[in-house]
Amino acid sequence: MRILLTGGTGLIGRALCKALLAEGHHLTVLSRRPESVAPRCGTGVEAMAGLDEWLPDRHFDAVINLAGEPIVDAAWTGKRKQVLRDSRIALTEKLVARIAAANHKPSVLLSGSAVGYYGNQGDRELDETAAAGEDFAACLCRDWEAEARMAERYGVRVCLLRTGLVLSQQGGILAKMVLPFKLALGARLGSGKQGMSWIHLDDYVAQVLRLLHTDSMRGAYNMTAPHPVSNAEFTRTLAEVLHRPAWACIPERLLRMTMGERASLLLDGQCVLPHGLLASGAVFNFDSLAKALKNLLN
């Protein structure tokens, strides 16, 4: 297949490029820094500097849309919120416009989203039928998904990837947590009751490949392991795997004072279940948090 990826130089994108190259696909990665594509994504991966290079006669069989500025790295000023929306929603709108103009339309669009779609729903277990939340992150995901669904009007199969916390040694939340925990500075966040819906990077890539290749799969999918945990349990398990204590707590008030509205990403969790994937026959190699962490850290 000829596949276009956005966000291909990120943590998930790099792992996905490796898996797709192993399957023999021809990859093109959209990047504002095209010179970084081959070193990060693999020799032979083509770089595209802008979507204006996707002319109507250019042929892609599939599009995987993972692009988006990091949501937690900077304060949510009005300007930053617009950057977050543009990097997701506006880019997806442009992708759909290119699909509409293409002489040979891709058969499938896999488009990013996040479990933040559900907002703060306490400890309630959530599958793909649960309603969207109403906070900024939830509205961002809702609008992002709605734009991706526009590709369906052109006969394109659309899958929405509601992604949880992706665990990897190479980056993401786990890489940020390991050093403090190794220094015995690990701490639960607030009450620790908030849900953390996670997935091992290898399982994530495997499920993306299933969605790519299975014509019957369409709509929203929770890209999480089958067993979400509370923040307190995540903290305790990570500390046990690293053989370190984790007795501290970062108070909710302090997080809200220092992070403002962004603190909701850490304090308002979701207990998300991948019912769609499981119903399709998905198997997770790392279905428990302890198993996943031991694989990554030991």
Tell whether the model's pLDDT for residue 296 goes beyond 90: yes
Per residue in 244-277, pLDDT tens?
Answer: 999 999 999 999 999 999 999 999 999 999 999 9
Instruction: State the virtual CA torsion across 66, 69, 75, 81 in degrees, nearest 10.
Output: -80
Question: What's the pLDDT tens digit per position in 140-159?
Answer: 999 999 999 999 999 999 99
What pTM did the predictor assign? 0.96
Please give the Cα distance from 281 to 261 (Å, whole number): 38
* CA distances in angstroms from 72 to 61, 75, 171, 263, listed in the order given: 33, 8, 14, 9
Return the sign of the alpha-carbon dihedral for residues 125, 128, 133, 138: positive
Is residue 298's pLDDT more than 90? no
- Measured in degrees and rounded to the nearest 5, phi and psi for residue 45 equal -75, 130
Under the banding of pLDDT at 50, 70 and 90, the label for residue 67 is very high
Pairing, β 62-65 against β 108-114: parallel
Phi/psi of residue 144, nearest 5 degrees = -60, -45
Structural domains of the chain sorted by starting position, each given as residue range(s) with its CATH number in brackets: 2-164+199-224 (3.40.50.720)
**Tens digit of each residue's pLDDT (9 = 90 or more) over 88-123:** 999 999 999 999 999 999 999 999 999 999 999 878
Q: Residue 30: phi, psi to the nearest 5?
A: -80, 125
